[in-house]
């Protein structure tokens, strides 16, 4: 699917979504998220934290789809808040070059979202969800692969498998392969994110682009290759909130305080695995986690 079709599809999905949604209550805050496990976990963290620290009613509108759909949902007022990643916001939403330090990228996103969309970008939650270039452990040991650049002598015979967003995004496949001079002779397979590691371990593909907080990274015999050319920008997780929501509900800002810097990459990996690998209920997992964190 080409990018213009994806934009039309995104608008169509949002139109259906908003037209079928029930009217929000006077004191309702709507939390959204994209359509993968970590986003559902983060959406539930926001929702439960607000519920425990305010009198606001929280509605959950999860599994919205990809980045563009989530962005359309919050700018249209269909949702009031969700968690985004700074590198994604910079490249895929603001369409700016995906480069800079963590602080530089954060400030560019914060300023851009405020001026262009009337959205507030809150302080980072404490972890990054970076693109992770992953291969099977047996292949890494056999070929002595440590960094992405080590792939170059072997790339002609490798079968890549990537998610749709990685194939389409400006900080994804095209720029990645150009930076590393990787010329795959076998065209990449476009895979659902939930099938990446299964396809890799069943040897249907030889290399995938996952996320650094994916639960399977802590349980499978796989290796994350170092981004030795520093291609990918920082992807810090940050809550995005409609300015109007803060104005209408002053206690919302207070209820979200205390989340900044409280979550690590390892904790997110374990939370994701609890949902995907152990089939636990996300609400229960988040509730127990927040209690342990005293949040």
Provide the pLDDT for residue 12. 44
Report the distance separating Cα 86 and Cα 106, nearest Å.
6
Q: Do domains 10-22+29-128+234-293 and 131-225 have the same CATH topology?
A: yes
280-290 burial, b if ≥16 CB within 10 A, otherwise e?
eebeebbeebb
**Angle between the N-to-C axes of helices 282-293 and 37-53, in degrees from 0 to 180, rounded to the nearest 10:** 60
Segment 265-280 mean pLDDT: 94
Report the distance separating Cα 199 and Cα 2, nearest Å.
24
N residues, the chain? 295
Provide the CATH topology of domain 131-225: D-Maltodextrin-Binding Protein; domain 2 (3.40.190)
Residue 271 has pLDDT above 90, yes or no: yes
Residues in a beta bridge with 81: 31, 241
| pLDDT tens per residue, range 81-117 | 999 999 999 999 999 988 889 999 999 999 999 999 9
159-198 burial, b if ≥16 CB within 10 A, otherwise e?
bbbbbebbbbbebbbebbbeebebebeeebeebebebbbe
Q: Domain ranges for the chain, please list them.
A: 10-22+29-128+234-293, 131-225
Residue 18 has pLDDT above 80, yes or no: no
| pLDDT tens per residue, range 149-161 | 999 998 888 999 9
Provide the CATH topology of domain 10-22+29-128+234-293: D-Maltodextrin-Binding Protein; domain 2 (3.40.190)
Provide the pLDDT for residue 257. 86
| pLDDT tens per residue, range 207-223 | 999 999 999 998 999 99
Percent of the chain past pLDDT 90, that is, above it, reads: 80
Burial of 213 (0-12, 13-18, 19+ CB in 10 A): buried
């Amino acid at each position: 699917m080409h990018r213009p079709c994806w934009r039309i599809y995104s608008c169509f999905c949002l139109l259906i979504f908003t037209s079928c949604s029930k009217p929000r209550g006077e004191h309702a805050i709507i939390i959204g998220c994209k359509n993968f496990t970590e986003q559902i976990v983060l959406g539930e963290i926001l929702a439960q934290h607000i519920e425990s620290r305010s009198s606001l009613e929280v509605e959950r509108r999860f599994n919205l789809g990809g980045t563009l759909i989530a962005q359309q949902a919050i700018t249209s007022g269909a949702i009031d808040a969700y968690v985004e990643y700074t590198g994604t916001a910079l490249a895929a939403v603001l369409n700016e070059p995906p480069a800079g330090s963590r602080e530089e990228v954060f400030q560019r996103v914060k300023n851009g979202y405020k001026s262009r969309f009337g959205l507030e970008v809150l302080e980072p939650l404490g972890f990054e969800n970076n693109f992770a270039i992953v291969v099977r452990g047996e292949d890494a040991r056999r070929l002595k692969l440590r960094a992405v650049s080590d792939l170059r002598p072997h790339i002609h015979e490798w079968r890549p498998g990537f998610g749709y967003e990685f194939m389409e995004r400006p900080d994804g496949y095209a720029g990645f392969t150009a930076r590393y001079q990787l010329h795959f002779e076998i065209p990449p397979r476009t895979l659902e994110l939930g099938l990446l590691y299964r396809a890799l371990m069943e040897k249907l593909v030889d290399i995938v682009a996952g996320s650094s907080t994916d639960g399977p990274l802590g349980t499978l015999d796989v290796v994350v290759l170092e981004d030795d050319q520093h291609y990918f920008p920082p992807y810090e997780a940050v809550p995005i909130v409609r300015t109007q929501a803060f104005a209408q509900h002053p206690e919302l800002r207070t209820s979200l305080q205390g989340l900044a810097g409280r979550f690590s990459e390892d904790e997110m990996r374990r939370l994701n695995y609890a949902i995907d690998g152990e089939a636990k209920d996300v609400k229960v997992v988040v509730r127990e986690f927040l209690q342990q964190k005293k949040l």
